[in-house]
Structure formats: C-alpha cells, structure tokens
Amino acid sequence: MTAALPRIESAGLDGWMIRLFDAIDEANMPWLTALVRRCEASFGDALVDLVPSYTTLLVVFDPLAMAPDEARRRLVELLADLQPDATCDEAAPREVPTWYDPSVGPELERLAERGDMSVEQVIERHSQVEYRVFALGFAPGFAFMGRVDERIACPRLETPRRRVPKGSVAIAERQTSAYPLESPGGWNLIGRTPAVLFDRHREGFSLLAVGDRVRFVPVSRAEFERLGGDVRSVEASQ
C-alpha cells in the first residue's frame, strides 16, 4: 500500500489503534474504508465498534469473545494484503441544502473581509467544493469534512459561543461541518441547513458517514423555510 508502514498500538484491553497514515489526505479514505469492511468480516460478533478518523482506525472488540493477542494477529493479517476500496466513490455525493446569510452565519462577512472577497465569493468558494467526511465526533452526527479552500479557511473563534443553533454550517481551519444539535462551539458560522443530521430513529443515526462525499447547495430563505429550517438569527438564540 502507498500509506506509511501501518502501526498497531494498544488502546486498552479491548481495543487496538491502527495508524495507517501520517498526514490528512482525501486519498486515505479508500484504504480506511477497505480496512473497516475487512474488520467487520473478520471479527464478526466479537466486534464492538470501529471508529475511523483522518489517518487511523480504532478497533474495539469484546475481550471475552476474542483475546487481545488474537485480535492483533487478525489485524496484522488484514493489513498484509490490504488494497483500497474501489467502490468508495461509486455513491453520488450527498447534497446538504444551505441558506447562507449573515443572520445565521455571522462570520460570513468577516471571512469575506479577511480574504478581500465579497460575501458572494465566500459562498461560492464554500459551496463549489466537494468535501469528504473524514471523521464523526464531538457530538452525535457531527461530521468533520475537508478540505476547505484555503482562501476561506479561518481559525476557530477565540471565545466559543455558549449556544450554536442546530444546523449551523461552519468552518474551522480547512475543515467544515454542520452542527447536528444545539451545542457550544467555536467554529465560524457561515449559514444553516434544514437537513436532519442526527436522528435516533434512523438506521445508523447520522445522515453522513465516514467516507461520504458532500456538497453544500445554496438555497434561498424561502426554500430553507419550506424545508423546515429555523430562520431565527444566531443572536436571538443566545
């Protein structure tokens, strides 16, 4: 494989962390997806959880069903002839409707000024890129996606907000995401989506999964409301 030599590290009595890569790259995903599928087939009922990230895969297993040494041995075997998942990009990109507006995206104008651009150009640069979901975390259904055009990349806020409205679309450095639930947060808000990103009654719970390709599609306020979006400003929700 083209990755750095994989490293298998202990993650406790019931887990092994596999480090496949040293750098974040979209090209990592077919390898990680392939390893996820091979682990599912090899570990069977002994598998408790798989947590893929930018460069790693955490494998959590039931130590009563499989000894740690046996789990590690299987991982060594799976890595020996691992090949990238050729079907990783067969599914169509997921589209996330987004209303870009300063009332729900108060950092829009700041990002425009920072990059010597208009608000419309910021929206264009964000919405015309196809992003890859690298990891899920922070909150249920929160998808870390990249990579954002470096001209609109921006560090996290120095002082996080106590409340970020559900559906807020945001940027932090060269990552982007949408908040699935109201929560504290320090990312730069640029818009809002009416999409239900986390649903306890949905299979898998999260709308987005690691490896998905995603596009944010600009919609008008009227279309945003028609789709069930909340038009209250960020300030009104504080």
Name the percent of the chain lying above pLDDT 90.
72
Name the percent of the chain lying above pLDDT 70.
95
pLDDT at residue 188 greater than cutoff 70:
yes
Q: pTM here?
A: 0.81
CA distance 167 to 149: 21
pLDDT at residue 231 greater than cutoff 60:
yes
Question: How is the beta sheet containing 56-61 ordered, strand by strand?
Answer: 7-10, 15-19, 56-61, 47-52
Domains and CATH numbers, the chain: 7-80 (3.30.1360.40), 94-237 (2.40.100.10)
More confident: 204 or 48 = 48
Quote helix, strand, coil % in the chain, to nearest 5: 25, 30, 45
Beta bridge partners of 64: none
**Confidence at residue 1, expressed as pLDDT on a 0 to 100 scale:** 46
Report, as an integer, the average pLDDT of 167-172. 98
The SS3 call for residue 126 is: helix
Report, as an integer, the average pLDDT of 144-160. 94
164: nearest Cα among 219, 230, 226, 221: 230
Q: How far is CA 21 from the centre of its chain?
A: 17
- Per the prediction, the chain carries an average pLDDT of 91
Instruction: Give pairs for 61-66: CB < 8 Å, separation 24+.
Output: 61/14, 61/15, 62/14, 63/13, 63/14
pLDDT at residue 134 greater than cutoff 50:
yes
Name residues whose C-beta falls within 8 Å of residue 8's C-beta, 6 or more positions apart in sequence: 16, 17, 18, 19, 72, 75, 76, 79
